[in-house]
Amino acid sequence: MTHELDIIPGTEWGFFTLPRPMCIAGPCSAETEEQVMETARGLSEFGIHVFRAGIWKPRTHPGSFEGVGVTGLKWLNKVKETYGMKVCTEVATEKHVRECINYGVDIIWIGARTSTNPFLMQEIADALSGTDIPVLVKNPVNPDLDLWVGALERLNRAGIRKLGVVHRGFSTSASIPYRNDPGWKIAIELRTRYPQMAFFADPSHMAGDRRYLQELSQRAMDLGLDGLMVESHCNPSCAWSDARQQLTPQDLRTLLERLVIRENSSEDKNYRDGIDTLRARIDVIDEQLLTLLQERMEVSRSIGRYKKEHNVAILQAVRWEQILSDMVKRADAMDISREAVLAIMTAIHDESVRVQNKILEQL
Ligand code: PEP
Ligand code: MN
């Protein structure tokens, strides 16, 4: 079932004047007035118009730095006055919303731990009813597209039309180089359903490490997303939260300059735009295939251990014949050639036998 959303595109909010990517940048957390002002100064120097800073921080452990609270909203006001920037921060409760409205915060975002929770989403939507403030909804920490859409619907029903999303990846127990699984497939699905909705990627929380920001930002652009929300701090290694993933304003400037941005407006849609978006999708699928293979080999190892315990031979020819013939039948129905399926499955099976034999050889 598709859920209609009545949305005003990000380009019509009047905040993002430069071409793609629309950029929101600033520290993970507002820490001190000096840190906020110094970071905003560095960012405003190269045309960043929207400043972010967390005031209330959702932290895993109590006792970690949980944000400076309302004091930080005064600093955000100073950023507006001094540098003419728009400011945005995260809200998680009705009280946060009221404080943001009182202090004239220009955009608010809902964090990944909050968008998972329909009760909180409804509370926030009710508090926002009757306002015109743009709201960005980060994806829920778990890869649940419906939950994400549900959060958007609640806000939309409360009359919020300046709605956008921030894709920051999903919690995972898989061993990947990033802090969160990019899970681009879900982002692509949401983008396809609501192409007019302002769509940001947050490479900082996806990566968890500044080394990966360039590649993830490029991927977001190749997928045709509108903007980036990036954490930037005047002195990243001393940040009170998320120190490893923040960039100095200067390094953010370099990152943005290195991005290859291809137009994807419908008027000048040409071959290159199309092919790059498709290739980016292929890259995402290939990464998923590799992760699946890794998982499959993990299971093979467990099977190897199990067979060893029970003194059973690795190669089970009858079972293997059965698997192959089932796969070939399915492939026929999917219009994939038998030869291709046989070749791929044989290679996977060979690797699986190799992995199991290795277990057997271990004493
Ligand atoms: C943040 O943007 O600082 C933040 C807490 O992000 P997320 O909700 O994506 O973890
Ligand atoms: Mn952060």
**What pLDDT digit, counting tens, does each position of 86-135 carry?**
999 999 999 999 999 999 999 999 999 999 999 999 999 999 999 999 99
Which three-class secondary structure state does DSSP give residue 282?
A: helix
Specify the higher pLDDT residue, 80 or 1: 80
Q: Which ligand is nearest to the CA of 57?
A: 1
Q: Is 138 touching ligand 1 by the criterion CB < 6 Å?
A: yes
CB atoms within 10 A of CB 348: 14
Confidence category of residue 313, pLDDT binned at 50, 70, 90? confident
The answer for 322, left when phi > 0, alpha when psi is -120 to 50, beta otherwise, is alpha
Cα dist from 42 to 23, 121, 286, whole Å:
14, 34, 38
Share of the chain above pLDDT 70, in %: 97
**Three-state secondary-structure class, residue 200:** strand
Residue from 116, 136, 205 whose mutation best tests the ligand 1 pocket (most atoms within 8 A of CB): 205
Q: Which amino acid is at 12?
A: E
> Degrees (nearest 5) of the Cα angle 51, 188, 52?
10
Pocket test of ligand 1: the residue of 64, 168, 245 to mutate, having most ligand atoms within 8 Å of its CB, is 168
Rounded Cα–Cα distance for residues 186 and 83 (Å): 36
Of all protein residues, the one whose alpha carbon is nearest to atom 9 of ligand 1 is 112
Contact between 29 and 53 (Cβ < 8 Å) = yes
Atom of ligand 1 at shortest range from CA of 166: 9
pLDDT in tens, 164-190: 999 999 999 988 999 999 999 999 999
Q: Closest ligand 1 atom to the C-alpha of 205? A: 9
| Ligand (nearest to CA of 55) | 1
Token pair listed for 26: 């600033």
- Most informative mutation of 109, 181, 202, 233 for ligand 1 (most atoms within 8 A of CB): 202
Lowest mean pLDDT among 112-126, 148-162, 268-282, 348-362: 268-282
Instruction: Find the 139 Cα to ligand 1 centroid distance in Å.
Output: 10
Helix axes 118-128, 145-157, angle to 10 degrees: 20
pLDDT > 60? residue 265: no
Q: Are 3 and 149 in contact (CB under 8 A)?
A: yes
Compute the residue count for the chain.
Answer: 363
Residue-level pLDDT at 67: 96
- Confidence at 210, pLDDT banded by 50, 70, 90: very high
Does ligand 1 come within 6 angstroms of the Cβ of 167? no
Ligand nearest to the CA of 169: 1
7-16, 112-121, 307-316: which range is least confident on average? Answer: 307-316
Cα–Cα distance between 313 and 321 in angstroms, integer? 16
**Ligand 1 near 28 CB (within 6 A):** yes
356 has a pLDDT exceeding 70: yes
Find the 190 Cα to ligand 1 centroid distance in Å.
20
Q: Is the pTM value of this prediction over 0.85?
A: no
Above 90 in pLDDT, residue 227? yes
What local confidence, expressed as pLDDT, does residue 167 receive?
98
Q: Specify the 3-state DSSP secondary structure of 19.
A: coil
C-beta of 112 in contact with ligand 1 (< 6 A): yes
Q: Which ligand is nearest to the CA of 109?
A: 1
Calculate helix-pair angle for 213-222, 271-309, nearest 10 degrees: 120
Angle, CA of 45, 215 and 67, to the nearest 5°: 55
Name 10's Cβ contacts closer than 8 Å, sequence gap at least 6: 16, 22, 134, 162, 164, 197, 198, 226, 227
